[in-house]
Amino acid sequence: MIRVDNLNMHFGGIRAVDGASIEIAKGSITGLIGPNGAGKTTLFNVIAGHYTPTSGHVYLDGEDVTGLSPHELFHQGLLRTFQIAHEFSTLTVRENLMMVPDNQPGETLWDTWFKSGTVRAREAEVRAKADEVIEFLEISHVANELAGNLSGGQKKLLELGRTMMVDAKIVFLDEVGAGVNRTLLNTIGDAILRLNRERGYTFCMIEHDMDFIGRLCDPVIVMAEGKVLTVGKPDEVMANEAVIEAYLGRGLKNKPQRGVTA
Ligand SMILES: Nc1ncnc2c1ncn2[C@@H]1O[C@H](COP(=O)(O)OP(=O)(O)O)[C@@H](O)[C@H]1O
Ligand SMILES: [Mg+2]
């Protein structure tokens, strides 16, 4: 579904992504791991259209989408969540879902509908969709809560919910499990698995928690210093000498962790 071919993203002298090539198969939940500073988020930013790469190409379903804007990619079904949740804190959970910003400053699907002149019918439709998402994620008890009052984990769940408001083909999750307690992490994991199996979503997720990765992802791509080190099943990559080296070389504190991540 996604093919990244010999991608470079340099910031001055920093080679954040340095000749990386990856493939994400349709229907997969592909993991992306690596020590801090490996270039994972930058790779996401290039794929999702936030940066135009220094060189290299990104293909979506065989079509070259390099340099398209996040807005254009959004309309092709490519969505991402952010490492730091992007909720509207003064709106309720339901209202947040009903907004679904599509990365275009000042323009939301809501505006588009508003302009269409069929406001009421649309609003009912969008509300029904939001309620379906709320039910799917089992967050009915906070549907009318201001998003700013949610726990960190609930905000991550809301981020995931926002990707369900449109027909996503592929969703990029940047540390959706970071700072989330074990119970909510299981809820998020279950939601990802169900979206994958029941609704055909393809996922690519950056994560540090290896239990979480091991449960959800196949394959796992390992990056270090802007390059792809290896690709394989979770257990294979964790046993790989070069992977262990890459993590140790950066200090023990950046090792992938078992259990809840900080
Ligand atoms: N906008 C930017 N300008 C300059 N350097 C950046 C920028 N974004 C990321 N970097 C650098 O690129 C490298 C990779 O960062 P990042 O992609 O955030 O890694 P990861 O997500 O794997 O921790 C780091 O050295 C980081 O400081
Ligand atoms: Mg990152």
Q: Is residue 231 part of a domain?
A: yes
Atom of ligand 1 nearest to the CA of 11: 4
Distances (CA, A) of 174 to 44, 54, 80: 8, 22, 8
- pLDDT grade, residue 234 (50/70/90)? very high
Confirm whether 223 is domain-assigned.
yes
Query: 196-231 b/e with 16+ CB inside 10 Å = b?
Result: beeeebbbbbbbbbbbbbbbbbebbbbbbbbbbbbe
For ligand 1, whether the C-beta of 40 sits within 6 Å is yes
* pLDDT level of residue 170 (50, 70, 90 thresholds): very high
Measuring from atom 1 of ligand 1, which residue has the nearest CA? 11
Asked, for residue 64, whether it belongs to a domain, the answer is: yes
Is it the case that residue 121 has pLDDT exceeding 90? no
Tell me, yes or no, whether 126 lies in a domain: no
Q: Please work out whether the CB of residue 41 comes within 6 Å of at least one atom of ligand 1.
A: yes
Q: Which atom of ligand 1 is nearest to the CA of 226?
A: 14
Does 106 reside within a domain? Answer: no
CA-36 nearest atom, ligand 1: 23
Q: How far is the CA of 247 from the centre of ligand 2 (A)?
A: 15
pLDDT at 114: 59
Section 247-254 average pLDDT? 60
From 4, 8, 10, 11, give the residue whose CB has the most ligand 1 atoms within 8 Å, as the site to mutate: 11
- Total tally of structural domains belonging to the chain: 1
Residue 143 pLDDT = 96
What ligand has the least distance to the C-alpha of 223?
1
Q: Within 10 A of 111 (CB to CB), how many other CB atoms are there?
A: 14
CA of 64 to the centre of ligand 1 (A): 24
Of the two residues 251 and 46, the one the predictor is more confident about is 46
Whether 220 shows a pLDDT value over 90: the answer reads yes
Instruction: Determine whether the shortest distance from the Cβ of 45 to ligand 1 is under 6 A.
Output: no
Is there a domain that residue 77 lies in? yes
Q: Which residue has the tokens 């019918």?
A: 121
With respect to residue 143, please indicate whether it lies within any of the assigned structural domains.
no
When pLDDT is cut at 50, 70 and 90, the band that residue 118 belongs to is low
| Stated pTM of the model | 0.85
Residue 83 Cα: closest atom of ligand 1: 21
Q: Does residue 116 carry a pLDDT above 90?
A: no
DSSP string over 44-78: HHHHTTSS--SEEEEEETTEE-TT--HHHHHHTTE
Q: Is the pLDDT of residue 174 over 80?
A: yes
Whether residue 136 is contained in a domain is answered as no
Structural domain of residue 173, as residue ranges? Answer: 2-89+166-254
Q: What angle do CA 170, 224, 51 make, to 5 degrees?
A: 50
Average pLDDT over residues 187-201: 93
pLDDT averaged over every residue in the chain: 87
Q: Is 80 in the pocket of ligand 1 (CB under 6 A)?
A: no
Quote the CA–CA distance of 214 and 235 in Å, as a whole number.
7
Q: What CATH number does residue 80 fall under?
A: 3.40.50.300
**Residue among 36, 35, 56 nearest 46 (CA):** 56
> What's 83's DSSP letter?
S
Average pLDDT rounded to a whole number, residues 69-78: 90
The band of 8, judged by pLDDT with boundaries at 50, 70 and 90, is very high
Mean pLDDT of 110-129: 70
C-beta of 39 in contact with ligand 1 (< 6 A): yes
Mean pLDDT of 18-42: 96
What integer is the mean pLDDT of 64-88?
87
Q: How far apart are CA 171 and CA 156, in angstroms?
A: 14
**Per-residue pLDDT averaged across 120-143, rounded?**
88
Task: Measure the CA–CA gap between 179 and 197, rounded to whole angstroms.
Answer: 26
Strand partners, 257: 209
CA nearest ligand 1 atom 8, residue = 42
